[in-house]
Every structure is written in structure tokens, then in C-alpha cells.
Amino acid sequence: MGQANRHGLVVEERGDLDPATGKTVNPNGVTGARRVDLLEYWHKRGTISTEGYNAAEALRNAFEATMRGPAALPDNDRVQSSPKPDHAIDIHIDRISRFQGIMRHVSRDDRAIVSACVLEGKHPSRVYGSTRVRQGLAHLREALDRMAQSMGGGAKHA
């Protein structure tokens, strides 16, 4: 529970959602901590739009899929082999193609900010400098909105 481990943690109430009011009912005052990424944080604060958030999530999920290996079954004690050895390569190529298909919606001028903030999880100050944070956040919002509009609303590829 040191300082470095608490970075990005948000303490929030745990409880049931009341369907009538839409609020969390927590009579015992139980709280929990979870790590919130910057995209979710900016979306909750209204810094980026819902469409931009959805487009960024689709892009990040496609990017992360390119780094995943094929699934292995933990309950199978035999060596996993495939009658088609190229199958894993085909899956990886499909994942890269999906990522490139979504990344194609990001304009050349927006690639630096989108790559830094969405794919690398960095703050816009890393791209724009600490004195121009507002300009970086504005550019990120506009870039994600353009990307979502190009994708047809952002949720299409999510």
C-alpha cells in the first residue's frame, strides 16, 4: 500500500444499484478500491465524449489483442498442438489487421496524441508539455471525436 501502488486507485462505495433511483445503496458503508485508467477518468469528468471514449476503447482493445498469445487450456495435461500449424499465425494476422483497420480512422495529425494517451496510457502533458495540458486535452478530445465520427459513432467496432 505504498505511494506508488496507490497511483490510479479510486476508493468508491460498494453496494447494490437501486433500480428505482439508479443510485448505489450501501447501508453498511462498505468501500473498495479499484484502478481507474485515464480514459475512464477523463470520460467521467466530461473531458472526452462518450463517442470518443468508445472509439478509444475499441482501438485500445484491438491493440492489446495484438499482444495476446493463443489461449492454452490449463486443465489439459497434454502438449497443445494443432493439425494446422499456421492457425496461430492466421489469428495474429487477423488481430493486427483489425487494429490497423481501426487505426486507419486516426488522422496523421492526431496519431501522436492518440498513441500516447490511448495506447501507451500517458497523460497529454507528455506530448504537449506541462504548461499546455489544456491544449493537449482539447486536442485529445477533438482527435477522439474525429475518430469516432470516421468510425460511424465509435461503438460500431467496440
pTM: 0.74
pLDDT at 4 over 50: yes
Domain segments of the chain as ranges: 1-36, 37-69+84-158
pLDDT tens, 127-142? 898 889 999 999 999 9
Q: How confident is the model at residue 77 (pLDDT cuts 50, 70, 90)?
A: low
66-75 contact pairs (CB < 8 A, 24+): 66/92, 66/95, 66/96, 66/99, 68/95
Query: Cα separation of 101 and 65, whole Å?
Result: 13
